[in-house]
Amino acid sequence: MQPSSSPNKRETRRRRKPKSICLPFADAAAYQSCMEDHVYCRAYIMKMYGRYPELFPAVLAHGFTFHGFLHSKKQDLTQRRIKLKANDEQYQIRPSFMMPYLIGRTEAVEKPLYFRRWGVPFDALAYGFGRNPMYWYRAYVSLGRPSLVGTTIKAADQLPAHVLADEKHSRRRGDKVYIPTTVAQECILGADVVETAGEADLKKGYQTFREEAQQLQADYAPDTVNTDGWVPTHNAWKALFPLTTILLCFLHFVLSIKKRCRSDQGLLHLLQDKVWATYHAENRATFAQRMRRLGEWVASREMATTVKEKVLDLCAHAADFKKAYAHSGAYRTSNALDRLMDYQDRLLYTMRYFHGTPQSASLYVRAMALVWNFHPYGQKTQDKYGPGASPFQQLNGFVYHDNWLENMMIAASIKGQKA
């Protein structure tokens, strides 16, 4: 029998539109009393729309009608539905204390999902909090469904002018895969899983970031993107954002020099002093001058050929590094990206990388990204920035709810998309 040539149903299935508006409520009693009172419910929805319009479909301004109820016996919760007058689209009003698909109360899953930031295995979560490992796995992966950009950034004027991008190397079922990652302002704004590090796959991986960012602002393009020297990465970004300036990471060249100086620590310290003095030049002209002097000094010195080649290679890219001086606030090194990719690395190692489908792998890395973006900082950092401080709060300047997971649920209303 010939194998069927029909496409996989999962691949051809239409992507569902967001149908859930998530709003803050103190508890189930407050939610139920609001939903049962037509006048109060309408007033509350319009109050929230006036305060947080980004949580609602834009056409809600044209009015809506109530459109029945949805009752969950399992959760003993009755949700209200509304129909928009502008396009007859129907949405359910979900409280922030309930997880999507009504899989459980937010307060019951908040701590286990928070522990996932340290890679606590799903078996350990089941041991400590009940249920079974697959319940916690599915609850965690489901966090990756909303838009990363739209959920994390709540206003178009907060979209970053400067970003960083690189690919995290990983494995799926023993085969090598790559995670194109986009970072800005201490948040992971793009993450996907692709099969190769070629230009076509990397373009596909980074394209999700572009699509989600342009949901907020149709003509969005970052002024600069900082990357390493991998040419397919440059080509992918140039194809997606033709006007964006690509900056090379200065740190990658320094680390390359350091790697070849391990046997001569004296030379290493001398080179590092000279290289970083060049990096810290206050303007473009001074940087160019110091780079020329560095090249001349190295050329006249006796040192290992491999070391000399790497320093001269750094000097040869002076024109690429000088571009950053034309863009105030641009990332000149990848430190901000490396810190977040280190977080990715720890979590991927604890789960021994990916074992399922490409779709589940992508959802997993997106869930990792959102947990990072919304997680509350440690106590020392909160002492500095205030109680409940998180990457989301630092970026947007506010939170919807004091609880980090309820804050995420509200931010992910209508899947973080501009509907």
Q: Where are the alpha helices (DSSP H) in 144-230?
A: 148-152, 199-216
Give the rounded distance of the alpha carbon of 113 from its chain centre.
17
Give the rounded distance of the alpha carbon of 95 from its chain centre.
24
Q: What is the pLDDT of residues 359-405, one digit of tens each?
A: 999 999 999 999 999 999 988 888 888 888 999 999 999 999 999 99
% of the chain surpassing 70 pLDDT: 96
Q: Answer whether residue 72 shows pLDDT above 90.
A: no
- Helix (H) or strand (E) holding 385, with range, is helix 379-385
Q: In what order do the strands lie in the sheet with 20-23?
A: 20-23, 90-95, 77-84, 64-72
CA angle (177 as vertex; 173, 182 as ends), nearest 5: 135
Q: Answer whether residue 8 shows pLDDT above 70.
A: no
Q: Mind giving me the DSSP string for 215-243?
A: HH-TT---SEEEE-S-HHHHHHHHHH-TT
Q: What is the pLDDT of residues 131-143, one digit of tens each?
A: 999 999 999 999 9
Residue with tokens 């400590």: 128
| Predicted local confidence at residue 7, as pLDDT | 47
| Predicted local confidence at residue 419, as pLDDT | 62
Q: Indicate the pTM of the whole model.
A: 0.91
| Predicted local confidence at residue 1, as pLDDT | 40
| Predicted local confidence at residue 327, as pLDDT | 96
Nearest to 140 by CA among 417, 365, 389: 365
User: What are the residue ranges spanned by the domains of the chain?
Assistant: 17-95, 250-326
| Predicted local confidence at residue 170, as pLDDT | 96
Q: What is the pLDDT of residues 148-191, one digit of tens each?
A: 999 999 999 999 999 999 999 999 999 999 999 999 999 999 99
% of the chain surpassing 90 pLDDT: 79
| Predicted local confidence at residue 10, as pLDDT | 45
- Helix (H) or strand (E) holding 276, with range, is helix 265-279
